Amino acid sequence: MNSSSPTPNTIGFIGLGNMGSAMASHLCKAGYTVLAWARNASTFEALPNIPLKPQPSIQALCAGTHLIALNVTNTADVQSLLFREGGIAECAQAGSIVIDFSTIDAAAVANIARELKAKGIDYIDCPVSGGAAGARAATLSMMAGGDLSAFRKVEPMLQHLGKTIRHVGPSGAGQAIKAANQMALCIQLVGIAEAMNYALEQGADLAVVLELLQAGLPASRVLDWAGPHMVKGFTDPISIEAHLHAKDVRMVADAAKKQGLNLPLLFKTAELLDELVANGPKSQDTSRVFEVVRQHMRD
């Protein structure tokens, strides 16, 4: 393990997709030196306006900082970055903190945290909610699980990325709450799609249906987001890409089944989102589950 002394206010960042690049940009603007590593050099070519400092390897990135942020797609990606040969667990300096913004399986987090702690590295699971728009606006909700003292060290950095920032408990607690967030959002979305389709089948004007639902007890932020897409026929810009929600909901559904939990609304929602992603356009808004629900109305 390297023992050099990194420059203060330096952070390593891995995972420069739509959300990660926006987060890294905010950190640069806040005065952080952001060391970045990506599997493909083309990643940096697509981000010319962000003053990142590309690193040739994970080892080089770890040598320059005690704080490493991850924002990748799934559990396997996180485990690979951490535990492969030349990965973070092997190269990070004693006393380092890994803060993981990825949405991954809550059941995997305890083992990740335990293995890293044995090497003198703290791991904070800190999934975020708000999508790419929230990342660009620095209004993300952030739910962190892990050692409280480690969280306090990174909290000032998080203030540049989100508005609602909470330490929610031990390792895995952040991912558990993010799972609950995705469950509530997507199950509600399918319920809205079913209700709107039912009203449409009875001859109602969808615009009027939306107006009256928004005026009553069903009003919600999910309805405000998804309802206009359903009324206008999905011509508005994409809010949240369906494959992201489908990935999260499927992960939670599979984990629940392994635990022997019966969550029928979650399981059906996972099926419908899987179908949406399998049969719809590659890039589409999750609200298009409305069309999948409509196809099944007379099954």
The predicted structure's pLDDT at residue 280: 87
How far is it, in rounded angstroms, from Cα 33 to Cα 7?
A: 9
Alpha-carbon gap, residue 191 to 127, rounded angstroms? 25
Q: How far apart are CA 16 and CA 231, in angstroms?
A: 34
End-to-end CA distance of the chain: 60
Tens of pLDDT along 218-270? 999 999 999 999 999 998 888 888 999 999 999 999 999 999 999 999 999 99
Q: Are 75 and 108 in contact (CB under 8 A)?
A: yes
Bridge partner list, 144: 167
d(CA 44, CA 56): 12
Name the nearest CA neighbour of 167 among 147, 183, 182.
147
Distances (CA, A) of 80 to 3, 72, 233, 274: 23, 11, 40, 25
Superfamily name and number for 177-295: N-(1-d-carboxylethyl)-l-norvaline Dehydrogenase; domain 2 (1.10.1040.10)
pLDDT at 240: 83
Distance CA 211, CA 186 (A): 21
Q: Name the residue type at position 101.
A: F
**23, amino acid identity:** M
Return the SS3 of 199: helix
In the chain, % of residues over pLDDT 90: 88
Backbone angles phi, psi at 40, to 5 degrees: -120, 130
- The pairing of strands 10-14 and 33-37 is parallel
pLDDT of residue 6: 54
Work out the mean pLDDT of the chain and round it to a whole number: 94
Cα distances (angstroms) measured from residue 213 to each of 63, 204, 298 = 55, 13, 24
Residue 175 backbone dihedrals phi, psi, to 5 degrees: -70, -35
Mark out the alpha helices in 206-263 (DSSP H runs): 206-215, 221-232, 242-258
Residue 194 has what pLDDT?
98
pLDDT score for 3: 42
Report CA-CA distances (Å) from 49 to 57, 160, 171. 22, 18, 35
Which of 1, 8, 17 minimizes the C-alpha distance to 243? 17
Whole-number pLDDT of residue 4: 47
What is the Cα–Cα distance from 147 to 102, expressed in whole angstroms?
18
Structural contact between residues 130 and 162, judged by C-beta atoms closer than 8 angstroms: yes
Residue ranges covered by each domain of the chain: 10-170, 177-295
The pLDDT of residue 282 is 78
Q: What is the pLDDT of residue 59?
A: 97
Which letter does DSSP use for residue 241 in this model?
B
Q: Given 3.40.50.720, 3.20.20.140, 3.40.50.150, 3.30.70.890, which CATH number is that of 10-170?
A: 3.40.50.720
The low-confidence residues of the chain, meaning pLDDT below 50, are: 1-4
Closest CA to 135 of 221, 43, 240: 240
Q: How far apart are CA 245 and CA 170, in angstroms?
A: 25
